[in-house]
Amino acid sequence: MTDDVILRVQDLQTHFFTRTGVVKAVDGISFELKRGETLGIVGESGSGKSMTAWSILGMVPHPGRIVGGSINYLGDNLLEKSRGEMRDIRGSGICMVMQDPLTSLNPVFTVGDQLVESLRMEYNEPRRSLRDRAIRLLENVRIPAAEDRLTNFPHQMSGGMRQRVVGAISIARAPNLLIADEPTTSLDATIQLQYLRLLKDIQEQTGAAIIFITHDFGIVARMCDRVAVMYAGRIVEQSDVEDMFDRPAHPYTEALLESVPDLDTDVDMLPSIDGQPPSLDALPQGCSFAPRCPYAWDRCNEYPLEFTVAPGHVSRCWRAE
Amino acid sequence: MVTTASEIAGTSTGSGEQPLVRLEGIRRHFPIFRGNVLRRRTGTVKAVDGISINIMPGETYSLVGESGCGKTTTSRMLLMADQPTEGSIYFDDRPMNQFSGAERRNFKASVQAVFQDPWSSLNPRMRVDHIVSEPLITHQRLSRSAVRAQVQELLQVVGLHPFHAERYPHEFSGGQRQRIAIARALSTRPKLIVLDEPVSALDVSIRAQILNLLKELQSTYELSYLLIAHNLATVRYMSHMVGVMYLGKIVEEAPPIELFTNAQHPYTRALISASLPAHPRRQREEIVLTGEVPSPLNPPTGCTFHPRCPFVMDRCSVDVPILTAYTPGHATACHLYDEGEANTC
């Protein structure tokens, strides 16, 4: 069944044309997302994970350009849409969840104004009925006394409330896909947990798919159904979440999972990954992880193909051949 | 009476070993003023409100807690960047506020810091050799060649190359910059380094490298660390003793294994339950705290955690719980355990 697939990214290439040369920020990645599914895209800074998000939203900053591939959203190729059409999709179909939910509200407008503003894009209705919709939205994200809260300014609400308001705004137009780019990096642990639960809650209510862009395997373990691991612009491994944690196939994934300290076990010395993440304008020939890889052999001078190691589990490493 | 939690807890591995640093009943209250002409004091923020900790030689003491709980204020007082309102800090058994000039200089050389963000903590206009040697030149009289030799050695100790000395910070990646910051901190041969979130700004694949480097340096040079971190797994990996802070107070203190397997205070348990699982099949039982951390301007009466506590009792809003070791080496400030003690007595 392909009906269930709401987003299909195929061989997406987003390159940056700088004075010193072409930087291949995203270099041929493919993945699919089903309705209600949560995909984690994991990678370090510069791995291309955020640029993947911007590409889907059609907001690649200058001097970047999508040079190849396709992004299929509900049967349409987003790369063929006009700017106006994309703007419409961004609000109603695909929605970005802000990086810092606590500071992304406008301090000089009331919460009600900000909710109504996003609702007006979707519904051509009088202000009164938009207001009612806003109240229902706030109730959906479990804000008590929602009606009174509409006249509040953001500073009159607590951090957790503001988080909920931002959540309400992002689902105001009933999106099919939420993209959360490092949504909780600036939050304290207990607030982060509240926010992740809110997102799950929203997902259950709306059936939206979520893409989590993160560097934290903990968020993946807590939230995601599937994972794609990015390294230097490519997806090096992709699988179901449990399969990835049980049997990481790519040496990078394996090393990364081992190098993160675990709260439940004790180790004397963490295994660490040598070297630095590669700079995208000077990528090695062949496999980009080879210089840091403990298993590297001469075969790695050629860029590895994608091999299936288990059903639904692919790895770009010659060891999986 | 001052309760020294670490003393009750009996942390030190050796029997009669003296702590390197002793904080005794430290308070730091910031006055809040209102009005310009008729300036009047309208309140007090109790950023740090009576904490006592011991940092043992060669060991890591970690402070964990959410933003605003007073971790950084505590470390600033330890770095002499701020003065406690009340209480005293002892370094090598000498009270810091009675230091002579020479002692003060010696102290400043013995306590160094490494900060979270190596992009803003290194001066972009200074070459690496100047960054690393600046504290050396301030604290010691050395010939130029001796300084150069020390810089080269320090760079090698932290895993950089001597030729990096002539470069500028922007030529390095985050992990390498943090290594430069560590080299700088090591230059005066300190006894204690304050590590304020040393890896949270770094890439995941680099973090283990830096943590391991810090551990190696600790055992080579007998360094003590005061680690401030919010990632509990990092704290477990690095520490010998952990203090959990909430609204300027230490609510629980224990060695990491004991703390993370046998947490007593409801806040500690909530913090642990909020840390993300290491495997999708090992989901934690999640204790969701209601509400926010209250404002330190107007903290709740009694136990400051009581408005959010799932196990709140009547007396919690009245009596302030005192940090008490209910089991050896593990102190908690919570009324839940008072009765347990009464029963055993």
What are the pLDDT digits (tens) for B43-56?
888 899 999 999 99
What share of chain A in percent tops pLDDT 90?
49
- Percent of chain B residues past pLDDT 90, beyond the cut: 63
> Does the CB of A160 have a partner CB in chain B at under 8 Å?
yes
Contacts of A109 (CB under 8 A, 6+ apart): A117, A153
Say which residues have a Cβ less than 8 Å from residue A140's Cβ, sequence separation at least 6: A168, A171, A202, A205
Please tell me what DSSP assigns to residue A27: E
Judge whether A184 is closer than 8 Å to chain B, CB to CB. no
Residue B8: the pLDDT is 46
Q: What is the pLDDT of residue B4?
A: 47
Q: Do the domain assignments include residue A246?
A: yes
Number of domains in chain A: 1
B275 vs A218: CB contact, 8 Å cut-off? yes
A88-97, A122-131, B26-35, B55-64: range with lowest mean pLDDT? A88-97
Q: How far is A118 from chain B (nearest CA, A)?
A: 27
**pLDDT at res. A180:** 87
**Count of beta carbons in the 10 Å neighbourhood of residue A183:** 27
- The pLDDT assigned to B2 comes to 44
Number of structural domains chain B divides into: 1
Which string of DSSP letters, residue by residue, matches B107-134?
Answer: HHHHEEEE-S-TTTSS-TTS-HHHHHHH
B14 pLDDT above the threshold of 50: no
Q: A29 versus A139: which is more confidently predicted?
A: A29
Q: Residue B70: phi, psi to the nearest 5?
A: 105, 5
Query: What distance in Å separates the CA atoms of residue B29 and residue B23, rounded to the nearest whole number?
Result: 16
Pair A171, A202: CB distance under 8 Å: yes
Contacts of A124 (CB under 8 A, 6+ apart): none
Q: What angle do CA B54, B244, B205 make, to 5 degrees?
A: 100
Confirm or reject contact between A190 and chain B (CB < 8 A): yes
Of A191, A221, A270, nearest to B277 by CB-CB distance is A221
Q: How far apart (Å, rounded) are the C-alpha atoms in residues A306 and B5?
A: 56
* pLDDT beyond 70 at B203: yes
pLDDT computed for residue B339 by the predictor = 66
Q: Looking at CA atoms only, how far is residue B175 from chain A in angstroms?
A: 8
The CA distance from B26 to A51, in Å, is 48
Q: Which tops the pLDDT comparison, A185 or A59?
A: A59
Question: Side chain identity at B75, as an amino acid letter?
Answer: S
Confidence of residue A38 (pLDDT cuts 50, 70, 90): very high
Torsions phi, psi of A186, nearest 5?
Answer: -95, 5
- Which 8-state DSSP code applies to residue A154? G
> What pLDDT score was predicted for residue B155?
95
Per the domain annotation, does A273 fall within a domain? yes
Q: What are A227-230's contacts with CB under 8 Å, separation 24+?
A: A227/A39, A227/A40, A227/A41, A227/A42, A228/A29, A228/A31, A228/A39, A228/A40, A228/A41, A228/A42, A229/A42, A229/A43, A229/A253, A229/A256, A230/A29, A230/A41, A230/A42, A230/A43, A230/A47, A230/A48, A230/A49, A230/A52
A246-282 confidence digits (pLDDT tens): 999 999 999 999 988 888 888 888 888 888 888 877 7
**Contact predicate B5/B28, CB 8 Å:** no
- Is A15 inside a domain boundary? yes
Boundaries of domain holding B159: 5-35+42-344
pLDDT tier at B87, thresholds 50, 70, 90: very high
CB contact under 8 A, A197 and B288: yes
Mean pLDDT, chain A, rounded, equals 88
Provide Rg for chain A, Cα atoms.
21
Substitution target from A41, A102, A190 for chain B, most B beta carbons within 10 A: A190
Query: Residue B25 maps to which CATH number?
Result: 3.40.50.300
Arithmetic mean of pLDDT, B311-339: 90
**Is residue A308 over pLDDT 70?**
yes
More confident residue, B286 or A253: A253
Backbone angles phi and psi of A222, in degrees to 5: -80, -35
| Nearest Cα to Cα of residue A159 among A197, A190, A199, A204 | A190
Contacts of A260 in chain B (CB under 8 A): 204, 207-208, 233, 278
Min Cα–Cα distance to chain B from A243, Å: 10
DSSP character at residue A265:
S
- Asked whether residue A118 is domain-assigned, the answer is no
pLDDT at B265 over 60: yes
Q: How many residues does chain B have?
A: 345
Confidence (pLDDT) at B205: 83
> Touching check for A207 and chain B: CB below 8 Å?
no
Given CA atoms B74, B80, B81, B82 in this order, what sign does their dihedral have?
A: positive
The two three-digit tokens of residue A273, written as one number: 């990954």
**3 state DSSP class of A283:** coil
Please check the confidence at residue A292 and state whether its pLDDT lies above 80: yes
Among A243, A250, A256, A263, the strongest candidate for a mutation testing the B interface, having the largest count of B CBs within 10 A, is: A263
Give the distance from CA A143 to its chain's centroid. Answer: 26
Classify strands A313-315 and A234-240 as parallel, antiparallel or unpaired: antiparallel
- B341, pLDDT greater than 60: no
Domain that includes residue A260, residue range: 5-93+173-315
Q: Is the pLDDT of residue A17 over 60?
A: yes
Q: Given this model, what pLDDT does residue A185 score?
A: 67
ipTM of the complex: 0.82
Whether the per-residue pLDDT at B13 is higher than 50: the answer is: no
Chain A residues touching B206 at Cβ < 8 A = 273, 276-277
Nearest of B188, B243, B240, B176 to residue B213 by alpha carbon: B176
Determine if the peptide bond prior to B135 is cis (ω within 30°): no
Taking only the tens place, the pLDDT of each residue in A107-116 is 999 999 999 9
Which of A185-189, B155-159, B163-167, B221-225 is predicted with the least confidence, judged by mean pLDDT? A185-189
Alpha carbons A240 and B286: distance in angstroms, whole number: 23
- Confidence label for A190 from pLDDT (cuts 50, 70 and 90): confident
pLDDT tier for residue A99 given thresholds of 50, 70 and 90: low
A186, pLDDT greater than 70? no
Report the range of poorest mean pLDDT among B138-142, B146-150, B221-225, B288-292.
Answer: B288-292
CATH number at residue A308: 3.40.50.300
> Could you tell me the pLDDT band of residue B15, with boundaries at 50, 70 and 90?
very low
- Comparing alpha-carbon positions, the chain B residue that sits nearest to A184 is B276
% residues pLDDT > 70 (chain A): 96
Structure tokens at A215: 């560097």
Give the model's pLDDT for residue A233.
Answer: 92
Structure confidence at residue B3 (pLDDT) = 47
Task: Tell me whether residue A112 is in a domain.
Answer: no
Does A149 fall in a domain? Answer: no
User: Which among A160, A218, A276 has the least Cβ separation from residue B276?
Assistant: A218
Tally of helices (H runs) and strands (E runs) in chain B: 11, 12
- Closest of B107, B189, B190, B121 to residue B150, by C-alpha: B189
Q: Give A142 or B103, the one with higher predicted confidence.
A: B103
Rg (chain B; Cα; Å): 21
